[in-house]
Homo-oligomer: A and B are copies of this chain.
Amino acid sequence: MAECRFRFANESDCRLILKFIRSLAKYEKMEDEVVATEELLREWLFEKKKAEVIFAMDGEEEVGFALFFHNLSTFLGRAGIYLEDLYVRPSYRGKGYGKALLKELAHIAVIRGCGRLEWACLDWNQPSIDFYKSLGAVPMDEWTVYRAAGKGLLELADLS
């Protein structure tokens, strides 16, 4: 890879986005948890605009993607970018596309006036942890995310 080109996804890319989401989930050993559909992605990404997707390109081919949205830091008083999914096709790994996608997101964050770029990593995924640390990222070791979902969310909302 000489220099990586990027493009923002549009509504016609939902099939490919879903394919990448499933491939990443398989790598994370969580394929069974994917209930997303093309229709849902169309609704939440392109109608309700709750997240954005950029593709890393090799010529006309999409070789990887980053799905991200804005979070907000109350300490900084400004938004950040949260990277939800980062994926590069297996045959294109080790060529710098993952790093290029992260650097592009950092660039977008700075341009938009955001104070942070954040993402989560599975604790057993040592290759990724090493990669992220080599890029200067700092683990938020002191914090754990708590989640209410499905039945638990309905119960909390008194709607079960």
For A69, what are the chain B residues with a Cβ–Cβ distance below 8 Å? 70-72
C-alpha spacing A54/B107, complex, angstroms: 32
Counting CB contacts under 8 A, is A44 at the interface? yes
Q: Say whether A148 contacts B116, CB under 8 Å.
A: yes
For A44, what are the chain B residues with a Cβ–Cβ distance below 8 Å? 72, 77-79
Q: Say whether A74 contacts B67, CB under 8 Å.
A: yes
With A36-B77, A41-B77, A70-B50 as known contacts, state yes or no: A144 contacts B156, CB within 8 Å.
no
* A148 CB contact (under 8 Å) in B24, B25, B43, B117: B117
Name the segment of A3-11, A56-64, A88-96, A129-137 touching the other chain: A129-137
How many copies of this chain are found per oligomer?
Answer: 2
Q: Say whether B143 contacts A122, CB under 8 Å.
A: yes
For A36, what are the chain B residues with a Cβ–Cβ distance below 8 Å? 73-78
Q: Residue on B with the closest CB to A42?
A: B77
Interface size on A, residues (CB 8 A): 75
Q: Say whether A153 contacts B77, CB under 8 Å.
A: no
For A115, what are the chain B residues with a Cβ–Cβ distance below 8 Å? 149-150, 153
**Which of A74, A77, A135, A144 has the largest number of chain B CB atoms within 10 A?**
A74
* A123 CB contact (under 8 Å) in B82, B142, B154: B142
Counting CB contacts under 8 A, is A145 at the interface? yes
Least Cβ–Cβ distance between A7 and chain B, in angstroms: 19
Q: Say whether B157 contacts A107, CB under 8 Å.
A: yes
